[in-house]
Structure 1
Amino acid sequence: MKIVAAASLLVLGLLTGSGQVAGASAAPEASVASATAASVPTWLPPVGPVFNTPNGTYEGRTAILKRVHDGIRNTPPGATIRFASYNIDRSDTATLLKAAKDRGVNVQIVVNANLIGPVEKGLQAKFGKNPRAKSFLIICRKACRNGSRGGNMHMKTYTFSRAGAATSVVINSSANLSGGAVRGQWNDAYTVYGNHDLYRSFLAIFNQLKFDRAVSPRRVTYRTETLGVFYQRLSAPRESVRFTSSGDAVLDRVRQIHCRTKPGYGASGKTVVRIAMYAWYGTRGNRIAKAVAARKREGCTVAVIGSVISKEVVRILKGSRISVKAADWDFGMKLSTGGEKQVYGTRCYSHLKVMTIDGTFRGRADKVVFTGSENWSAPALGSDEVTYEIHDPAVLRTYNLRWRAMWDNRNVTHRTGIEPKRRPCA
């Protein structure tokens, strides 16, 4: 496997001196909870992308939650569950996690301090708060890997050392384990299992998160030819890649899009870019918007779905004739993201943080999806975030079909500049 920014992983002790991921042949924690010949588990988690639909059926609303809950149910004694989620407020999730602990599963959870409620308090009472114990729930004051310097623990990653017949299960999502993520947000999740190096990369980050103190390096990258994973916090240093870095990974990605492409990619010889972004605003948001607008002027086909997207960002995009729609509904008073006050805003919205590129990227024809937890606004630079870079035509097709379904549905997207009071979500 080819690794980019190998120095970052080397600092975490994940790489050998040759720059390759160490121990790739052995599953981490594989000796724990190994199945006996008399009782071989057969359940396997579904892999790849899944999306919830907050204005759909119960099955549609809970599609992502079901993946996580099924993983918990199928985790055997001795295995380890590790969750990093901005918040957990679902009592059904808590019940499953407590039952897992009672049958001998190690349950380790890291959450952000902003929205602590009875569910998280109950889990901490059950699991304790010692980060060196086999089970715990840690509440980070700010971004965990940033100590008390600012930001949030904003990741939404759910892992299982073993679940059913699968090992090294990783579910990365835009969805927290919250009621709002099911009832009021469009979200996605992407599941991988059996990729022990990917699992180790999260394990290394998690083992930093749980101590809630500042660490270095600030940006850690795991990469193969088909999958890149970027864990970052605060203003990141320049990466050793084939371009001049701005220090903002999102801005750099947009700048690496080229608008002419070859047959079999894009449309009519043009690269096609689709964006669905929850929070896109401020000085950073404007910079990214200008880069996206530049791609349109160079000939790319670009369209955007936004939720908390500023008037200035919309102005920049539309100024280059980029089509923009909003996925924000049910405006009114709600609890702020920080949990400290009531604010006016949207209570039903797309929570996706997705960009798809079908065309030329980093100098070659490609079909790539970026998805994860990072918004295109300044707060993301100071938070614990993760972004997946997936090079797979089938995955891109699935994300683009979802994007198109949202774009075409009047109960999901609408013209920008209005604040609908109607609530199409559950």
Structure 2
Amino acid sequence: MAAGIALLLAVTVLVTGHGLLPAAGAAPAAHAAPSAARKPDPAYVVTPGITFNHPFRRGQRGKIHRKIVKTLKNAPAGATVRVITWNFDSPYLARKFIRAHERGVSVQIIMSRGLARSQGGNPARSYPMMLRAFQRDEENRPPGMESWIRTCSQTCRGKRGSMHPKLMIVSRSGATNWIVMQGSGNFTGAAAVQQFNDWTTVTENKPLYDGWMRMWDEAKQDRNFPVLRFTTGNITSMFAPHRDNVDPAMSVLNKVQCAGATNTSHGRTKVRIANAVWGEARGARIARKARQLDRQGCDVEIVFMMMQRRIRHILRGMRAKQMVYIYGEQADKFKDRYVHMKGLAVQGNFDGRPDGNVVLSSSENWTQLGWHSDEQNIIIRDDAVMTQKYVDQVDLIYREAPRTLSNYVNSADPDPDPRVRHSDREYLSPKEYPFHLLEAELS
């Protein structure tokens, strides 16, 4: 358990703080008056599909955040926006949510209690800023249109672990209805400027929207609920805690056949994996399956941020690279640039179809903690465009990744190899920029 917590928390800096936080199950305590902000465009269309950011490239750092902001800006008065995120720490995004609230949109957000406390009462930090804004002029809000930001005690729908999703559910934006957005990125500046993340958007799918709203209605009560899994058309949703159910990653990988692909140039099924943290028995189990597929002739490629040494040993000899740049002999999480995605794509022979296309997009690290924490997984089949984009993104990260399994940087590794030493010269690229300037680029 301790190792699992270390694995999960390794990807974000935690700052200790104090503060009184409303629980997710508490009564709503926020309203606001509409403002004269720019009116939403009723003709705006939220584009479905998958979005990636690139923390090293100026024009691509904020792509996911810009997608979120455009959706918010065009949500009309009377619309609802629901967010669950492990961390909300971006004044830029916080201001956008406040403006939507002031325009008459019902904004409700759940985030990690520990991370909310770490922001204390600092008026410039996101949690206190939104808490105050949502509580202003509450008598002017119509019934059912309350806005609030809350926390869960640990998980929101389970008994232990951590609440770790990253998602947004919007009733309407412009001309688009029933919007479900989710992925690997938290609502933080770091998600845009430090991490490789993905963000998947599904629109005009009322059954999917209703299923995700059911999950939301359970989560805001902050108590234990049964496993929630359902399929709508070509999309399967899986919400942890998983308990005794099949692992989402294994549910995909177990259906892969390596030969006979008709939608790849070499006839071999492509398996592209991008998961930040692999640990314990769960990470080893998925690694062994990836190894098996590689030996059976699949075209397997893996990028990651951190994994235990025994898992690296399982993958030895495969095409697996660590995407993490560190400045200085000691890891500084504020300066790291790393892959933070948590999913995979299969292009080829899948579940009896030689031209199969599948993408798993998730908030879930492949650890025991991820198994019994709050997480979201979405598996989309038969979307050739999305699958190709995911394959291309993993290929891009793999080409740019600075390290192989044998040239591994033991950044916050719970199982470090004391024999490995590194020099400062390994940590000089890409060029470092001040964090506040990077965040300012998103405005």
TM-score, with normalisation over the residues of structure 2? 0.76
Contact between 2:86 and 2:112, CA under 8 Å: does it hold in 1?
A: yes
Contact between 1:367 and 1:393, CA under 8 Å: does it hold in 2?
A: yes
RMSD across aligned positions (CA): 2.3
Instruction: Give yes or no for the alignment of 1:260 onto 2:266.
Output: no
Contact between 2:196 and 2:340, CA under 8 Å: does it hold in 1?
A: yes
Contact between 1:201 and 1:222, CA under 8 Å: does it hold in 2?
A: no
CA–CA separation in structure 2 for the residues paired with 1:269 and 1:204: 41
Instruction: Give yes or no for the alignment of 1:157 onto 2:167.
Output: yes
CA–CA separation in structure 2 for the residues paired with 1:249 and 1:158: 21
Name which of 135, 138, 151 aligns with 2:150: 138
What corresponds to 2:325 in structure 1? 329
- Aligned amino acid, residue 231 of structure 2: Y
What corresponds to 1:403 in structure 2? 394
Contact between 1:353 and 1:371, CA under 8 Å: does it hold in 2?
A: yes
CA–CA separation in structure 2 for the residues paired with 1:358 and 1:95: 40
> Within 5 Å, which residues of 2 pair with 1:269-418?
269-318=267-316, 321-330=317-326, 332-334=330-332, 347-365=336-354, 366-391=356-381, 392-409=383-400, 412-416=401-405, 417-418=407-408
Q: CA deviation at 1:382?
A: 1.3
CA deviation digits over 1:266-299, x for unaligned, max 9? Answer: 4533222111110112121111111111112222
- The alpha-carbon distance between structure 1 residues 282 and 330, as it changes in their structure 2 partners (threshold 3 A), is same
- The alpha-carbon distance between structure 1 residues 45 and 276, as it changes in their structure 2 partners (threshold 3 A), is same
Contact between 1:368 and 1:396, CA under 8 Å: does it hold in 2?
A: yes
Instruction: Give yes or no for the alignment of 1:120 onto 2:127.
Output: yes
- The alpha-carbon distance between structure 1 residues 380 and 346, as it changes in their structure 2 partners (threshold 3 A), is farther
CA deviation digits over 1:159-183, x for unaligned, max 9? Answer: 2111111111222121111011011
What corresponds to 1:97 in structure 2? 97
CA–CA separation in structure 2 for the residues paired with 1:62 and 1:346: 17
Q: Any idea what SS the aligned residue of 1:144 has?
A: coil
CA–CA separation in structure 2 for the residues paired with 1:309 and 1:137: 33
- The alpha-carbon distance between structure 1 residues 234 and 192, as it changes in their structure 2 partners (threshold 3 A), is closer
Name which of 224, 232, 236 aligns with 1:214: 224
CA–CA separation in structure 1 for the residues paired with 2:150 and 2:305: 30
Q: CA deviation at 1:413?
A: 3.8
- Aligned amino acid, residue 296 of structure 1: D
- Aligned amino acid, residue 104 of structure 1: G
- Aligned amino acid, residue 236 of structure 2: G
Q: CA deviation at 1:47?
A: 2.1
Q: Any idea what SS the aligned residue of 2:56 has?
A: coil
Q: CA deviation at 1:83?
A: 0.8
- The alpha-carbon distance between structure 1 residues 346 and 258, as it changes in their structure 2 partners (threshold 3 A), is farther
What corresponds to 1:19 in structure 2? none
User: Which segments of 5 or more consecutive residues in structure 2 lack a partner in the other structure?
Assistant: 1-39, 120-124, 139-143, 410-425, 434-443
Contact between 2:207 and 2:232, CA under 8 Å: does it hold in 1?
A: no
CA deviation digits over 1:335-369, x for unaligned, max 9? Answer: 6xxxxxxxxx9822000112111122223331111
CA–CA separation in structure 1 for the residues paired with 2:335 and 2:403: 13
Contact between 1:142 and 1:152, CA under 8 Å: does it hold in 2?
A: yes
Contact between 1:219 and 1:236, CA under 8 Å: does it hold in 2?
A: no
Percent identity (aligned): 26
Contact between 1:221 and 1:231, CA under 8 Å: does it hold in 2?
A: no
Q: Any idea what SS the aligned residue of 1:257 has?
A: coil
User: Which segments of 5 or more consecutive residues in structure 1 lack a partner in the other structure?
Assistant: 1-38, 238-246, 336-344
CA–CA separation in structure 2 for the residues paired with 1:53 and 1:205: 30
CA deviation digits over 1:349-403, x for unaligned, max 9? Answer: 0001121111222233311111121111111111111112122111111111111
Name which of 237, 240, 263 aligns with 1:229: 237
